[in-house]
């Protein structure tokens, strides 16, 4: 079923990503997403085959020089111990995407662990890595050519270092079991897209990517298979984005002030000139 839902510049499509017709819509500038990592009834190999299909669909939806930020756990223990980060990177490449880099996201609020395996013994220790990755890909060419960016010099310096630290999202706050925090799409969108790029999330969940789009003034599209999540995403979008935008503006203003104290860089000069226009 395709049920388009529009809020301001944001569009939610209630559909399976594999039912989205990609034959005439290569307009997406940036895809930011975290796919489902639960393989109910799937073998791991089936899951990887399915992943290749949606990654290919997204590849066709992407504009020339379009980009993909893929947020996934490094390891999973499903159908055996698997290096999901590496396996999905391979699937994305098999679907046509070209690899650029990997950002490590260290979640600051990982809950206390108890599953030690064999505690203080080498027999069967469990290693838990409280990090996920955001793997960055592109279509055809990495250089996007000319366009307008809205990232501040301080943000650029901070975020172009590929180790990011911020809290994960609480399921109860957003009514979704596996949402990523707003900080994740915010950084990806500002760092990797121009202001008029269309952003897409094929697994929209609670709508986080579209809230970031609305607060950053980007047109966005999201696809979600579960009607309850679609309704929740629409509700969140209407409720949250203005508050988020206001907080971010305050933060950027604070950073710009800090940066002014240093010798203004060329990037800062360009940024201030753009703000005055
Ligand atoms: C990991 S969650 C995404 C959470 C999202 N990033 C957020 O912040 O809320 C994956 C989502 O993909 C949806 N989904 C699963 N299979 C799908 C499919 N074939 N097409 C579209 N959405 C699907 C699930 O219902 C789930 O909400």
Give tens-digit pLDDT for 38-94. 767 788 999 999 999 999 999 999 999 999 999 999 998 877 889 999 999 999 999
Q: Is 233 in the pocket of ligand 1 (CB under 6 A)?
A: no
Q: How far is the CA of 40 from the centre of ligand 1 (A)?
A: 14
Q: How far apart are CA 6 and CA 10, in angstroms?
A: 6
Instruction: Tell me the pLDDT tens digit for each residue of 90-105.
Output: 999 999 999 999 999 9
Report the nearest atom of ligand 1 relative to the CA of 202: 21
What stretches of the chain show up as alpha helix (H) in DSSP? 44-61, 84-94, 153-159, 171-174, 183-192, 208-216, 227-261, 266-276
Domains and CATH numbers, the chain: 3-276 (3.40.50.150)
Which residues are within 8 A (CB) of 179 and not within 5 positions of it... i.e. 6 or more apart? Answer: 169, 171, 205, 206, 208
Inter-CA distances, 22 with 15, 53, 91, 135, 201, Å: 13, 12, 19, 23, 14
pLDDT at 241 over 60: yes
Res 38: pLDDT: 72
Q: Which pLDDT band, with edges at 50, 70 and 90, does 202 fall under?
A: very high
Strand-pairing partners, residue 104, are 133, 163
pTM of the predicted protein model: 0.91
Q: How confident is the model at residue 117 (pLDDT cuts 50, 70, 90)?
A: confident
CA of 224 to the centre of ligand 1 (A): 6
Mean per-residue pLDDT, 178-203 = 97
Q: So what's the pLDDT on residue 272?
A: 57
Is the model's pLDDT at 212 over the cut of 90?
A: yes
Does the beta carbon of 97 sit less than 6 angstroms from any atom of ligand 1? no
Band of pLDDT at residue 260, cut at 50, 70 and 90: low
Average pLDDT over residues 183-194: 97
162 three-state secondary structure: coil
Q: Which residues in 109-131 are b (16+ Cβ under 10 Å) and which e?
A: eeeeeeeeeeeeeeeeeeeeeeb
State the average pLDDT over residues 115-136. 90
pLDDT of residue 219: 96
Above 70 in pLDDT, residue 237? Answer: yes
Shortest-distance atom of ligand 1 to CA 207: 9
| Local confidence band at 3 (pLDDT 50, 70, 90 cut-offs) | low
What pLDDT does 138 receive?
A: 98
- pLDDT at 7 (0 to 100): 84
Q: Residue 65: what pLDDT?
A: 97
């Amino acid at each position: 079923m395709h049920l388009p839902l529009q809020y301001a510049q944001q569009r939610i499509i209630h559909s399976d990503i594999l039912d989205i017709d990609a034959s005439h819509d290569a307009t997406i500038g940036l895809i930011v997403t975290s796919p489902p990592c639960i393989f109910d009834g799937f073998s791991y190999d089936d899951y990887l085959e399915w992943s290749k299909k949606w990654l290919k669909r997204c590849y066709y939806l992407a504009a020339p020089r379009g980009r993909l930020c893929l947020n996934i756990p490094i390891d999973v223990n499903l159908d055996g111990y698997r290096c999901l980060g590496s396996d999905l990177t391979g699937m994305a490449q098999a679907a046509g995407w070209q690899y650029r880099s990997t950002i490590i996201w260290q979640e600051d609020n990982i809950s206390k662990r108890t599953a030690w395996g064999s505690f203080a013994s080498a027999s069967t220790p469990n290693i838990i890595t409280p990090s996920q990755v955001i793997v960055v890909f592109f279509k055809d060419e990495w250089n996007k050519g000319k366009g307008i960016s809205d990232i501040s010099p301080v943000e650029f310096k901070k975020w172009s270092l590929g180790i990011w630290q911020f809290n994960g999202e609480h399921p109860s706050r957003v009514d979704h079991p596996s949402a990523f925090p707003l900080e994740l799409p915010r950084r990806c969108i500002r760092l990797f897209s121009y202001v008029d790029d269309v952003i897409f999330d094929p697994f929209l969940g609670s709508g986080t990517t579209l809230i970031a789009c609305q607060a950053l003034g980007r047109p966005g599209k999201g696809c979600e298979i579960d009607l309850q999540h679609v309704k929740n995403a629409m509700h969140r979008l209407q409720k949250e984005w203005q508050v988020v935008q206001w907080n971010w503006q305050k933060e950027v203003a604070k950073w710009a002030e800090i940066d002014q104290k240093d010798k203004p860089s060329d990037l800062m000069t360009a940024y201030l000139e753009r703000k005055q226009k």
